[in-house]
């Protein structure tokens, strides 16, 4: 059995196929964990979802900000932006099936000793708390009121976690941390405007994984979302978004569960016409 972690696909179906062929992926033998942003900005969002669905239980995915955005646009909860490339998904004859599968994916996964999220983990959260909070959002997405949840999901407030938060204020912080976080203060106040690399931290902020004494410091966390950061292979964090949709690579990490000598595997990707 081989276990792979896969960075942001963002609708790049051809690159996904090349990577699966390169590693000779077998659904009956191997496992694939996708770290969010399955769709949007690339040319084949519908094809990506069909391919992952066809892999059955061998493919497990967390949701990213673009995945949530696709669900919000599909339900009329959010207007499509000029950068979106979601029409192939929204107009597909099997759109309802694809979107239903998408909203039933996870917000965080822990497997093979790795905590997997799309963007980040707030410094006050333990791994167990992260999974528990992620499950609250999963329940909202998969419940009868999921359309109402999407209508209220957007916003930057509150920007910090408080155990006393309730309702949508609570869910919004969880969503923002798991799908949008890059920089925060040492106290865990999130900053949402800066999209540059780690050295471009705003005054008073730092990359979330560099906050001193964060509660997940002893865990291994794999995430995507941060294409300007690129591949980062520390002992405690693995950043997997290598900018595939912007002309970079689609990256996968093969986990060697016996020796812990993991191997990075990359394939080139077709660039999007307009970066953003």
Instruction: Quickly list H helices, the chain.
Output: 13-22, 45-54, 65-74, 87-90, 95-103, 127-142, 146-152, 167-180
Q: What is the pLDDT of residue 234?
A: 95
Residue 191: inside a domain: yes
Calpha distance 148→87 (Å, rounded)? 23
Instruction: Answer whether residue 58 shows pLDDT above 60.
Output: yes
Residue 276: inside a domain: no
Q: What is the pLDDT of residue 274?
A: 38
Q: Which two tokens stand for residue 221?
A: 């966390």
Instruction: State whether the Cα torsion 39-41-42-43 is positive or negative.
Output: positive
Q: What is the pLDDT of residue 271?
A: 54
The DSSP call for residue 210 is: G
Q: What is the pLDDT of residue 261?
A: 87
Cis amide linkage into residue 263, ω under 30° from 0: no
Average pLDDT, stretch 154-171? 96
Q: What is the pLDDT of residue 269?
A: 83
Domain containing 138 — which CATH number? 3.60.21.10
Give per-residue pLDDT as tens, 19-53.
999 999 999 999 999 999 999 999 999 999 999 99
How is the beta sheet containing 206-207 ordered, strand by strand? 190-191, 183-184, 206-207
Report how many domains make up the chain. Answer: 1
Residue 25: inside a domain: yes
213: left (phi over 0), alpha (psi -120 to 50) or beta: left
Residue 154: inside a domain: yes
Nearest Cα residue to 179 out of 244, 133, 144: 133
Instruction: Answer whether residue 59 shows pLDDT above 90.
Output: yes
Alpha carbon of 231 to those of 21, 40, 246, 248: distances in Å?
21, 21, 14, 11
Calpha distance 17→258 (Å, rounded)? 27
**pLDDT confidence tier of residue 273, bands split at 50, 70 and 90:** very low
Alpha-carbon radius of gyration of the chain: 17
Q: What is the pLDDT of residue 260?
A: 84
Number of H-type helices and E-type strands within the chain: 8, 13
Q: Give me the chain's average pLDDT, please.
A: 95
b vs e for 64-88, b when ≥16 Cβ sit within 10 Å of the residue's Cβ?
bbbbbbbbbbbeebbebeeebbbeb
Residue 142: inside a domain: yes
Give per-residue pLDDT as tens, 227-271.
999 999 999 999 999 999 999 999 999 999 888 889 999 999 865
Residue 274: inside a domain: no
Please give the residue range of the domain that contains residue 221: 3-268
Strands (E), the chain: 3-6, 31-34, 59-61, 109-111, 114-116, 183-184, 190-191, 206-207, 220-223, 232-233, 237-239, 249-255, 263-268
Give per-residue pLDDT as tens, 185-237.
999 999 999 999 999 999 999 999 999 999 999 999 999 999 999 999 999 99
Give per-residue pLDDT as tens, 96-137.
999 999 999 999 999 999 999 999 999 999 999 999 999 999
Residue 197: inside a domain: yes
Residue 273: inside a domain: no
122 CB-contact burial (10 Å; exposed 0-12 / middle 13-18 / buried 19+): buried
């Amino acid at each position: 059995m081989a276990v792979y972690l896969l960075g942001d696909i963002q609708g790049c179906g051809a690159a996904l196929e090349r990577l699966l062929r390169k590693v000779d992926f077998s659904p009956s033998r191997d496992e694939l964990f996708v770290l969010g942003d399955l769709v949007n900005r690339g040319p084949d969002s519908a094809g990506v979802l069909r391919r992952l669905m066809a892999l059955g239980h061998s493919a497990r995915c967390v949701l990213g900000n673009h995945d949530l955005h696709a669900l919000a646009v599909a339900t009329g909860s959010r207007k499509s932006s000029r950068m979106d490339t979601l029409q192939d998904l929204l107009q597909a004859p099997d759109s309802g099936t694809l979107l239903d599968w998408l909203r039933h994916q996870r917000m965080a996964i822990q497997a093979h000793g790795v905590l997997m999220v799309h963007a980040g983990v707030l410094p006050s959260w333990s791994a167990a708390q992260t999974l528990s909070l992620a499950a609250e959002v999963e329940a909202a997405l998969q419940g009868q009121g999921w359309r109402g949840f999407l209508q209220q999901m957007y916003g930057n407030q509150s920007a910090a976690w408080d155990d006393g938060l309730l309702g949508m204020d609570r869910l919004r912080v969880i969503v923002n941390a798991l799908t949008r976080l890059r920089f925060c203060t040492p106290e865990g106040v999130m900053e949402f405007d800066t999209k540059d690399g780690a050295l471009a931290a705003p005054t008073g902020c730092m990359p979330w994984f560099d906050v001193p004494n964060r509660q997940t410091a002893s865990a291994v966390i794999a995430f995507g979302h941060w294409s300007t950061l690129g591949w980062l292979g520390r002992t405690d964090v693995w950043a997997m978004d290598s900018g595939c949709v912007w002309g970079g690579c689609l990256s996968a990490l093969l986990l060697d569960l016996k020796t812990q000598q993991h191997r990075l595997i990359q394939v080139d990707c077709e660039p999007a016409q307009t970066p953003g």
